[in-house]
Amino acid sequence: MPRFPIPLPHAVPLYLAPMAGVSESPFRQLCRQYGADVVVTEFLSAEGIRRENEATLNKLRFGPQERPIGVQIFGSDPAAMADAAALVTDVFQPDFVDINFGCPVKKVVKRNGGSGCLRDLGLVQEIIRAVSRATHLPVTCKVRSGWSEEMRDPVTIGLRCQDAGAKVLTLHPRTRTQMYTGSARWEEIAAVVEALDIPVLGNGDIKSAPDALRMLRQTKAAGIMIARGSFGQPWIFDQARDLFDGRPMRATPGVAERFRIALDHARLVESYEADPQGAAVEFRKHLGWYVKGLPNSGDLRRQLHAVNTFGEIEAIFDAYLQGPWGEAALAGVAAESLDADVAA
Ligand SMILES: Cc1cc2nc3c(=O)[nH]c(=O)nc-3n(C[C@H](O)[C@H](O)[C@H](O)COP(=O)(O)O)c2cc1C
């Protein structure tokens, strides 16, 4: 079994994925409370870090309760990446530095950042080596399966990352051209797990805890990374842990419990952000995710998408619970929590 470069509480760790605008400090704290073993910051520009851009440095803040935590950086200039890694190591002291070779966004790839690097594996290796020289922390990488269908070759990409010094590799088995379309090819994760000596994390299309168990069984990955599957359901990590440990999966929280967790999340954001009104508006997307699938959720979502302050949220939840839909939801969500299609 390949060894992780940092001590972890479980042999098969569950990671909260790096996600711009989502895997911020409050959500990372919440996911740690609900069973994520490791969290990663959203991707941060090496140039922004090097130039000590205030907004970028602000996103590097984290608390001790978030550890173990990785800081993810992106860029195509090995020197800038090395400078950024050195600054992050000295000033913020995370547990590892992750390099983003997966971001498909045009603004990033046109300067060869993110998955743009995958067109030039020599550059990928140069970046990993430069970053590894600049920090004593473990350097890990997150990659896609290739730039395009023609260049699809996750095993070669993984081997080149390992050869350059990556200590853990995460594969999201889609190409850049695919963006988020099609499905993640879990068989590519299995092939990379087989080919590499370092731990390989599987990522892509885990929507529920049973999906996480299925990925683990199909790929034999050393760990599992969850991104969109955590939206509005941070408890997915605890549920996945139950299944990994062979226990019956704990029930999905009922509607009142979901609202309580959403309010806890809101309080964490409120106490973390300097601009509470801006933060409340930003928080609307999480509220939409928390109420997804509830009876009459369209109406509820419309109300929640109009909030301008954190104070408005609780009243909307209370009115819902006391209204006709609340009763239906209380019955419905309880039934939904029997969804443990685990045996497969
Ligand atoms: C809103 C959003 C933001 C993301 N930001 C990042 C990022 O900053 N760095 C990164 O490596 N991947 C990022 N990703 C990709 C995810 O980490 C993950 O690889 C991808 O969503 C597939 O996993 P999933 O099917 O579990 O969502 C982002 C994805 C989403 C949906």
Domain boundaries, the chain: 14-244, 255-334
Q: How confident is the model at residue 30 (pLDDT cuts 50, 70, 90)?
A: very high
Residue closest via CA to ligand 1's atom 15 equals: 19
Tell how far the Cα of 327 is from the centroid of ligand 1, in angstroms: 35
Q: Does the beta carbon of 261 lie inside 6 Å of ligand 1? A: no
CATH code of the domain occupying 14-244: 3.20.20.70
Angle between helices 255-272 and 324-336 (to 10 degrees): 100
Q: Which residues are catalytic?
A: 103
pLDDT (0 to 100) of residue 333: 54
pLDDT of residue 243: 98
Cα–Cα distance measured from residue 45 to residue 319, given in angstroms and rounded to the nearest whole number: 43
What's the gap in Å between 199 CA and the centre of ligand 1? 20
Q: Which amino acid is at 90?
A: D
Say what the pLDDT of residue 108 is: 84
Nearest CA to ligand 1 atom 5: 19
CA 175 to ligand 1 centroid distance, Å: 13
Q: 338 falls in which pLDDT band (50, 70, 90)?
A: very low
Please work out whether the CB of residue 16 comes within 6 Å of at least one atom of ligand 1: no
Question: Which tens digit of pLDDT belongs to each residue from 189-225?
Answer: 999 999 999 999 999 999 999 999 999 999 999 999 9
Q: What integer pLDDT is reported at residue 332 of this predicted model?
A: 66
- The mean pLDDT of 110-115, rounded to a whole number, is 82
Q: Whose CA is nearest to atom 2 of ligand 1?
A: 19
Give tens-digit pLDDT for 218-276: 999 999 999 999 999 999 999 999 999 999 999 999 999 999 999 999 999 999 998 88
> What's residue 194's pLDDT?
98
Q: Ligand 1 centre and the CA of 315: distance in Å?
A: 32
Ligand 1 pocket, mutate which of 172, 174, 215 (most atoms under 8 A from CB): 172
Nearest CA to ligand 1 atom 23: 204
Structure tokens at 126: 């140069």
